[in-house]
C-alpha cells in the first residue's frame, strides 16, 4: 500500500507549492524521475491505451523508443492548445510554469480538474477548457505526453516513432469531436 500514501503526500505537497500555482518564476518544482517510477508503471493495456494499477492513464515507451499513440497525439495537441503559455515541450516559459512537472507532481484527478475548470492566483490564471473539444477529447493524450516529458521518458521535440492508432481510440475520437 505504498502507492496511495505517496499519492496523498504528493497531493498535499502540490497544495503547498507556490511555484505550481503562482507561476511567478521560471524555476518550478523539479521532478526526480527515480522517485516516481512506481506511479507511472504500466499495469495493463486496453486496445492501445495504457493504465497504471490505479486505473490512471500512463505512457508506454517501447525499448526501441516507439511511443504509444496517446503520447504522440498528446505531443500534437499540446503544441496546438497549451504551448502558447506553457512553452515548447512542457518546459515552461516567462508566462506559465513547467507543466511537464505538474503532470508528475499533481494527482491525475487534480490535473484533470484544473484543465476542466481552470484556476486563478492573482494575475496568474489558468483558463478553463471544459467546453473545448480540442482539449477535452485529448486530455488523456496531453496528460500522458506531459507525464512522459516530466519523467524524461521522451526527449524534447517530436517523437520519432509511434504506435498505430487503435480502432477504439479512433472511434472514441470520432464520438467526442462529433
Partner 1 sequence: MKKLFAWTSVLAISAIGAASANEALMSEIDNPDQWAIQTGDYQNQRYSALDQINKDNVGDLQVAWTFSTGVLRGHEGSPLVIGDMMYVHTPFPNIVYALDLADEGRIKWRYEPKQDPNVIPVMCCDTVNRGVAYANGKIFLHQADTKVVALDAESGEVLWEAQNGDASKGETNTATVLPVKDKIIVGISGGEFGVRGSVTAYNMETGEQEWRAYSMGPDEDILVDPENTTHLGEPVGENSGTNTWEGDQWMIGGGTTWGWYSYDPEADLVYYGTGNPSTWNPAQRPGDNRWSMTIMARDPDDGMAKWFYQMTPHDEWDYDGINEMILTDQEIDGEERKLLTHFDRNGLGYTLDRISGELLVAEKFDPAVNWTTGVDMDPESDTYGRPEVVAQYSTEQNGEDVNSTGICPAALGTKDQQPAAYSPKTELFYVPTNHVCMDYEPFRVSYTAGQPYVGATLAMYPAPESHGGMGNFIAWDNIAGEIKWSIPEQFSVWSGALATAGDVVFYGTLEGYLKAVDSETGEELYKFKTPSGIIGNVMTYTHEGKQYVGILSGVGGWAGIGLAAGLTNPNDGLGAVGGYAALSDYTALGGQLTVFALPD
Q: How far is the CB of 1 from partner 1 (least distance, A)?
A: 37
Binding partner 1 (rule: CB under 8 A), the pick from 134, 164, 167, 168 is 134
Give the shortest CB-118-to-partner 1 separation in angstroms.
Answer: 7
Q: Which stretch binds partner 1 (CB under 8 A): 8-16, 45-53, 83-91, 142-150?
A: 83-91
Round to the nearest angstrom and report the end-to-end CA distance of the chain. 41
52 touching partner 1, by CB under 8 A: no
Q: How far apart are CA 100 and CA 93, in angstroms?
A: 12
How many contiguous H segments (helices) and E segments (strands) does the chain have? 10, 5
Nearer to partner 1 (CB atom), residue 81 or residue 110:
81
CB nearer to partner 1: give 68 or 89: 89
Query: How does DSSP classify residue 63?
Result: T
- Vertex 134, ends 166 and 23: CA angle to 5°? 115
Q: Which stretch binds partner 1 (CB under 8 A): 28-36, 50-58, 81-89, 144-152?
A: 81-89
Binding of residue 81 to partner 1 (CB under 8 A): yes
Residue 13 interacts with partner 1 (CB under 8 A)? no
Q: Where are the alpha helices (DSSP H) in the chain?
A: 2-16, 18-22, 37-40, 69-81, 83-86, 99-105, 108-117, 133-136, 139-150, 167-177
Length of the chain: 178
Q: Residues in the site for partner 1, rule: CB under 8 A?
A: 24-26, 75-81, 83-85, 87-89, 91-96, 118, 120, 122-127, 129, 131-135, 155-158, 160, 177-178
Amino acid at each position: 500500500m505504498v502507492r496511495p500514501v505517496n499519492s496523498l503526500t504528493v497531493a498535499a505537497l502540490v497544495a503547498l507549492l507556490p511555484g505550481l500555482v503562482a507561476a511567478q518564476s521560471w524555476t518550478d518544482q523539479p521532478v526526480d524521475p527515480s522517485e516516481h517510477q512506481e506511479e507511472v508503471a504500466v499495469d495493463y493495456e486496453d486496445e492501445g491505451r495504457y493504465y497504471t494499477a490505479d486505473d490512471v492513464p500512463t505512457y508506454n515507451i517501447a525499448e526501441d523508443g516507439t511511443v504509444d499513440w496517446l503520447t504522440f497525439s498528446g505531443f500534437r495537441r499540446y503544441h496546438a492548445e497549451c504551448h502558447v503559455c506553457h512553452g515548447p515541450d512542457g518546459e515552461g516559459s516567462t508566462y506559465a510554469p513547467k507543466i511537464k512537472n505538474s503532470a508528475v507532481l499533481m494527482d491525475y484527478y487534480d490535473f484533470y480538474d484544473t484543465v476542466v475548470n481552470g484556476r486563478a492566483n492573482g494575475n496568474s490564471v489558468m483558463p478553463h477548457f471544459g467546453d473545448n473539444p480540442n482539449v477535452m477529447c485529448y486530455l488523456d493524450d496531453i496528460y500522458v505526453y506531459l507525464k512522459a516529458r516530466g519523467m524524461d521518458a521522451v526527449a524534447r521535440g517530436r517523437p520519432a516513432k509511434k504506435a498505430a492508432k487503435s480502432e477504439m481510440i479512433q472511434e472514441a475520437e470520432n464520438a467526442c469531436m462529433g
